Structure 1
Amino acid sequence: MANFISLDRLLFTTRESTYPLAKNAAQIMDYGSFIKEVARWHHAFSLQSGHRFALYFNDSTTFAAALLGAWHAGKCVYLPSDILPATLQKLQESTDGFAGDVPTALSPISAANGSANNWQVLDLNAVMLVVYTSGSSGEPCAIPKKLSQLLSEVAALEACFGKQSAGATVLATVSHQHIYGLLFRILWPLSAGRVFDAERLVYPEDIAAALRDASPATTILVASPAHLKRLPEQLKWQTQSLRAVFSSGGPLPLEALPACRNLLGSAPFEIYGSSETGGIAWRQRQQDHQTAWRTLPGIAIRVENETLFLRSPHLSNNDWQASNDRVTLTPSGFELLGRSDRIIKIEEKRISLSAMEQALLATPLLDDVRLIVLPGQRLSLGLIASPSEAGWRLVDEQGKKALNQALRHALAESSEASALPRRFRYIWALPSNTQSKTTHAALLALFDPRRPEARLLERSKDAALLSIEVNASSPFFDGHFNTAPILPGVAQLEWALCLARELFELPAAFLRMEVLKFQQLIRPGSQIQLELKTLSKDTETMLTFKFLSTTGTHASGRIVLGNPA
């Protein structure tokens, strides 16, 4: 078993050079190779005059090497959750450069003399990292982190879960670009000498494949509720239990627990916290009634008017800080009552969005729901929901308006008429990013009139079939053409790519179009289907699309995507 080494001293009190650090497929990277890669990144960052650099990598070992190289070069690392054009534009305003899978990024450089670095102890009081909130209720906010905050959190995880995780290999469905993934997938394994997988398990089916190739008894899984509530049936053939399962990033539904216990061998260790506060508490619900949260080592809490206050070494100072969560104390810890920051005022009346969502979920019509405030001169609510079988059956039999009215009626007894949602979007699952977070921006994008209202009919890991009602009010029909409107080809391409990005994890950059054909016109009011298929080969991903109806194929083609060079 490896000794625990604090990250500020890792490089000059490192383990044996042959000690395994990470794996990528069948290949193992040892500490000696890793330190050499850190040195190359350190040299590259040392040649830069700027202090702030954004890192975005898909491969976790390359990311870890670049991160330590930047830190030892005295740089502060910014962690974006994606590399969409809008994200990169904002980062250009706040950083001095980029490293990783983005255009014009910094690359590692070998030192001219080839000599070993004289590593120094890192400054615990220096701000080494800037992470971002998920933006679940608005624009994401930047959160600076001192190295001491990160190291205290890693030490708390080892103190609390070190025995369960000792000697295990770390598999993860979450990205290291988020604080949860960074801690559990990179920083904690580096300190504890635990091998981590360089690739992220993007789809639930990937979990089954990874466990089939590994020994579950020597594996821990770092996951999100989005994956744990969709565990594939293939896992039932796994006869051994995982060493441990962790879940964070959002609440794990009670109905997901039986599958976790049966398919993975035990209930996950759920971690409660946020990007702002760091980890606060944990629980493991081996029985459904076990709902109390227990604080992590070093965390002190108190409750005032149901508001949770905490004092933590994971915060920037030692002052008491109020959270946005309502809690009640229990003999074994505390229970969460909901968030206090989801209270809004409509016509001078206080409205709890969380309470409204609970009332909607009490109906048999929805599997998931989220309410958001829509922009405009008048404050109004938008509803985004994933209907249940009963909900979709109501849509099929009586139309979307019937489901709208049923949901408004479910709220009528507890909510003022002025507070009832005015706009509705129904989707197969609430949108989530690589950290399995549902952001405010992603929810708001569903109300963009340019996005088609689509229903998912079939889906596999690399294919999907959707039904689309071509709304006559789509802005794509404006001026195209006034007397006989048709859906432009560019709109069809945008629809195919937009919906594919919601369903699959695709590379950011558009490379080219291939075999594009437009065979029949698509007119307002049409009912069409969209077939999507993806195929990854080398560094490129091909997205094949086909628009169909009862009259045959309307359009087809192939979009080639890849990461920027």
Structure 2
Amino acid sequence: MNKPSMRLSTLFSTPLGEAALAAPLGVRQGCLVPAQALHARVAQWTQTLRLQQGTELALYLDDSLEFACALFGAWHAGKTVWLAADLTPATLAALAGRVSLFVVPESRELSQPVLTPADLPAPSAEHLPLQPLPLQHLGVVVFTSGSSGEPQPIPKTLQMLFQELDALEQLWGPTLGEADVLGMVSHQHIYGLLFRVLWPWAAGRRLHAERHAFAEALWAAVQAQGGKAVVVASPSQLRRLPPQLERLDVAAVFCSGGPLPPDALPACERAFGCAPVEVFGSSETGGIAWRQRKGVGPWAWQPLPDVQWRVSEHGQLQLRCAHMPEPQRWVECADSVRPLGAGFELLGRMDRVVKVEGKRVSAQRVEQSLMDGGHLEEVRVLVLDHGGREELAVVAVPTAEGWAHLEREGKRDFVARLQALVATSLERVTLPKRWRFESCLPSNSQGKCTQQALQHLFDPRRPGVRVRSRQTQSVELLLDIHPRLPQFQGHFDGHPIVPGVAQLDWAQRFAHEFLALQGRFAGADAVKFQQVIRPGSAVTLHLSWQAPLLSFSFQSAAGAHASGKLRYESPGV
């Protein structure tokens, strides 16, 4: 069989026989989609996009099959695709000056023309012949995750993408066989794009339209499709697998996007019957190395087949590989490493030195010191601007014991306990001033914890929140209604209460944060405000999302406060 790179470049330009046209190339809602239908859809996208002005377009489609057809259509039309991580106003505004067209699920008001799948003309009997894709074509522009700053654009040629697929298939193709690939991560990032969309078609496997962000949905999909499956997930998803799910025997589980904690490994093996294959890389470099932690460590990271590596005199990882822009040039990464057997051990990032009031502070060292106290599961340190002054801030996930201390001692004393862990190594002016304690770190559709998401937690309008229980379409949250919340201003002097509009905003805000809320707000139904919420209250917020309705209720020891339903139109974004 040809290499994956050769197969992809000619996938939609090679005439197929009757049997090949009838063979399934995709799956949507449990139904097989034949190659003929997908070839016709790619031709539709190609013809339509050839008529559009400009060479740069932004692409965001939630359906992976439709996304793949639009992607290949754009390439055959000579376009460069900018992958939008989401459809938030900030993301769309950042792309507006870079592209001449937005391809999105539904019509919306944007500064550039908008094209949706519904805008494509009816299929014609005659399709323009499609030529093999030129490998030097600038195929996509992806963005860095934003975990260490503002997301930066990274251009990728088709050759860079396809050669990385050759390495993946060489390494794992025989193990995967013809297994279907089911994804928990989004295809709008480089990891999901390669593993969920391009690799399946490059190796002749079926591409699934749906993303299964929650474990319960993934389990149902694997059991429904029958046969072996490949799972593509993130560390944040794998470390929160519900223990009650029955075991799935899968061909492989891939994990990328950050470190997978060692204590998550037993649950993964129990759930899937195998240890996950962890892939280390970045948007800039693509995949670099892999490991599969079985038995007793230590476990070295092994380079992918086309990757060469070495350690600089300063202990930094240096790379060169076929799927980077200059294959023969050594590139120095910001990762500190040391050799371990035939591979290397990661020691942390060397670019996480921040400045606070002109003083240099190692965020990684602060995080490690806080973790050494034994009361935190995860922690992230960042710098916030507070009235023109830089302040060190901490977002932490306490252990069960940590939560007990927090509830028993109160936040002030618990913070003092943690500050004592770093006080000996930091100057007083650089000690963390801002703290948030959460049930889990925020993550995007790739499972990445971004700077923007961390900063969002310090929005003064956001009450403190702890997850009490969470399922695929519902969540129960405990809100700390702090007296300094700005929602109390003007409501009312001497008798402060949380206004009803703020409660509706919280319901929508936390549904976006913790549930897969989709669509645009279209109205409210059966909203009742039974009694006021006062400062200092501990309020439980129940949210349940069943498109197109979001049900909510606020309750506390005092009884019911509010309930109702919020309606959303045009789901699927």
- TM-score where L is the length of structure 2: 0.93
| Residue from 462, 474, 493 that aligns with 1:463 | 474
Query: Matched residue pairs, number?
Result: 558
- Partner residue, 1:198: 209
Name 2:140's counterpart in structure 1: 129
Decide whether the 8 Å contact of 1:278 with 1:315 is kept in 2. Answer: yes
1:88 aligns with 2:100: no
Matched, 1:331 2:365: no
**Distance change >3 Å, CA 237–CA 328, structure 1 → 2:** closer
Structure 2 equivalent of residue 308 of structure 1: 317
Does residue 267 (structure 1) correspond to residue 275 (structure 2)? The answer is yes
Q: Secondary structure at the match of 2:133?
A: coil
| Contact kept? 1:326, 1:338, Cα under 8 Å | yes
Q: Is 2:302 aligned against 1:294?
A: yes
- Shift in CA distance, 252/237, structure 1 to aligned 2, threshold 3 Å: closer
Retained in 1: the 8 A contact 2:44–2:123?
A: no
On the 8 A contact 1:412/1:420 being kept in 2, the answer is yes
Matched, 1:99 2:103: yes
Contact 1:477 1:485 in 2 (8 A): yes
Q: What corresponds to 1:243 in structure 2?
A: 251
User: Does residue 409 of the first structure (1) align with residue 420 of the second (2)?
Assistant: yes
Q: 1:364 aligns with which of 359, 365, 374?
A: 374
Task: Note if contact 2:247-2:273 (Cα within 8 Å) is conserved in structure 1.
Answer: no
- In structure 1, runs of 5+ residues without a counterpart are none
For residue 85 of structure 1, report the CA deviation from its aligned partner: 1.7
Which of 408, 414, 439 aligns to 1:397? It is 408
Deviation at 1:58, TM superposition (A): 1.3
Match of 2:440 among 418, 429, 443: 429
8 Å CA contact 1:6–1:151 kept in 2: the answer is no
**CA distance, structure 2, for counterparts of residue 14 and residue 427 of structure 1:** 55
How many angstroms apart in 2 are the aligned matches of 1:180 and 1:456?
28
Instruction: Note closer, same or farther for the CA distance 1:260–1:458 as it changes in structure 2 (3 Å cut).
Output: closer
Deviation at 1:13, TM superposition (A): 2.5
Greater displacement, 241-250 / 94-103? 94-103
The CA deviation at 1:478 is: 1.9
Deviation at 1:118, TM superposition (A): 0.8
Look up the equivalent residue of 2:512 and give its one-letter code: R
Aligned to 1:10: 11
Which of these residues, 169, 179, 182, is aligned with residue 171 of structure 1? 182
Contiguous gaps of at least 5 residues in structure 2: 109-113
Tell me the alpha carbon deviations over residues 445-481 of structure 1, each in whole angstroms, 9 at most, x when there is no partner. Answer: 1111011112222222222222222222111222233
Q: 1:220-242, CA deviations, whole angstroms, 9 ceiling, x for partnerless residues?
A: 1111111211223344444xx31
User: Following TM superposition, by how much is the alpha carbon of 1:113 offset from its aligned partner in structure 2, in angstroms?
Assistant: 5.5
Separation (CA, whole Å) in 1 of partners of 2:567 and 2:303: 48
Range that drifts further, 375-384 or 302-311: 375-384
Contact 1:174–1:435 (CA under 8 A) maintained in structure 2: yes
Amino acid in the other structure paired with 2:57:
F
Q: CA offset at residue 439 of structure 1?
A: 0.8
**Is the 2:182–2:232 Cα contact (8 Å) retained in structure 1?**
yes
CA distance in 2, matches of 1:285, 1:237: 19
How many angstroms apart in 2 are the aligned matches of 1:469 and 1:434? 27
1:191-213 Cα shifts (integer Å, max 9, x gaps): 11111221111112223222322
Which aligned pairs between 1:436-455 and structure 2 lie closer than 5 A?
436-455=447-466
Pair 1:499 & 2:510 matched: yes
Q: 1:113 to 1:520 in 2, by over 3 A?
A: closer
Structure 1 equivalent of residue 364 of structure 2: 354
Please list the CA deviations of residues 87-119 of structure 1 after superposition, one character each: whole Å capped at 9, or x if unmatched. 122222221111132434414534786313211
Aligned CA distance change for structure 1 residues 398 and 458 (closer, same or farther; 3 Å): same
Q: In 2, distance between residues paired with 1:564 and 1:458? A: 25
Distance of 2:288 and 2:38 partners within structure 1:
32
SS of corresponding position for 1:94: coil
TM (norm. structure 1) is: 0.94
Partner of residue 548 from structure 1, selected from 526, 542, 555 = 555
- SS of residue matched to 1:17: helix
Corresponding residue number in structure 1 for 2:38:
34
Moved more, 263-272 or 98-107: 98-107
Contact 1:178 1:435 in 2 (8 A): yes
